[in-house]
Structure 1
Amino acid sequence: MINSIKYKYGILAFGSLIDDPGEEIKELEIDRLDSVTPFKIEFARISSSRGKAPTLVPVKDEAKGRKVKSKIIVMNESTSLNELKSILWRRECHITDKTKGFKRPEKPTSKHVLIGELENFYNVEKVIYTTFLPQKEYENLDPEKLADFALSSILSKAGTDKIDGVRYLLSARESGIETEYSERYIKSLLSKTDTSSLQEAIEKLDRQRENQLI
């Protein structure tokens, strides 16, 4: 149900932002609204900051994907829209220096974190979200390839830091996010690890990574 309260600013969360928005966003958060993304979402990006883990991103209407459950993180109105964009950009880029802010590049590439904007979405005047240009080198991703990337990421430093693809997938599932690829992606990953749940897979792969370091 759409909330009857009219808010000014919000951040659309459909991935790791739901459970881990970062300190800057937490400090300004005043409410959360249940929502559904206005665009399709899919595991369609390989994130270098997560050990090449698959992550959720908006995709074009003609691409594979689904509109998914999401949250609008409602923000304190004392913050300007431009500052809010910078806060979201810093969180996505893992930047802690608050003097650095978002500025849309003149010639963006798939490496750039971009900020999209929605108007009057679920009774919030302005809602921003992260988006990216497609990665041409990974345009043929499928559930099998996604599982391979996720497994590789958890066996890397990303697994030690608990920001790997398997944990990301588990978090998305626990948030009720179901894309077109989700079930086949999970089944492929469980098959490759000979496990019956994502939590079991995480525990098994964590032990494997730790044994490799001994």
Structure 2
Amino acid sequence: MADGTQFVDSDTVEHTQLLVPKSNLSRPYVWPFLIIYPCYNYLYSNHYDEYFVGREWTFIYTLAIVSVHALIWLLPKWNLDLQVKFQYNKVKDLQLATHILMKAKPSCGLSEICKIETIPGQVSFKYQKRKFLYSSKTKKFSPPKFFVDDESLTIKEIKSIRGLPSDKVPALKKHYGPNTFDIPVPTFMELFYEHMLAPFFVFQLFLFLCG
């Protein structure tokens, strides 16, 4: 298998990387706090008079720990590079990978982490609503090539086309996908969740709690 940076044939992609998810326990917003919270509870329960003294300091310490935990949890939601570092391990073998990072070139849309779908006879993923298929010949993913994309195609050949036999339709539909353009309408809860996790809103909420 080729290296992940050579896996996609596209003029709009600057960099790619094959990925596999980390286990939940190995993520930086999980395992450190499995130690921090029990230690904090131990100090609160057994050494309150020595370290906490009063309710004010208890509130400050608790708010500080929860804020740091929340910030580390939110960082990968705000930054794609941090999401890769926090939640995934890099791999070089396509057979091991479950996702692929698609880093877009400037002015070529958003970068994404795409899930690799594997079905009998086909390995693919969707990026910016486009399907990318893996070719065992080129060792790369690329959008499906259509009949009309052939530069040597002549008008005579186009006029000679008589449609598709019914028995070929399922295989071609599997290869190219349906001829639709889907623009999903987000639900209220999806919009509300996105707003709640926006950096500016989180900053306002933090100032309110500190005030």
Superposition TM-score, scaled by structure 1 size: 0.20
Superposition TM-score, scaled by structure 2 size: 0.21
Which protein is richer in helix relative to its size? 2
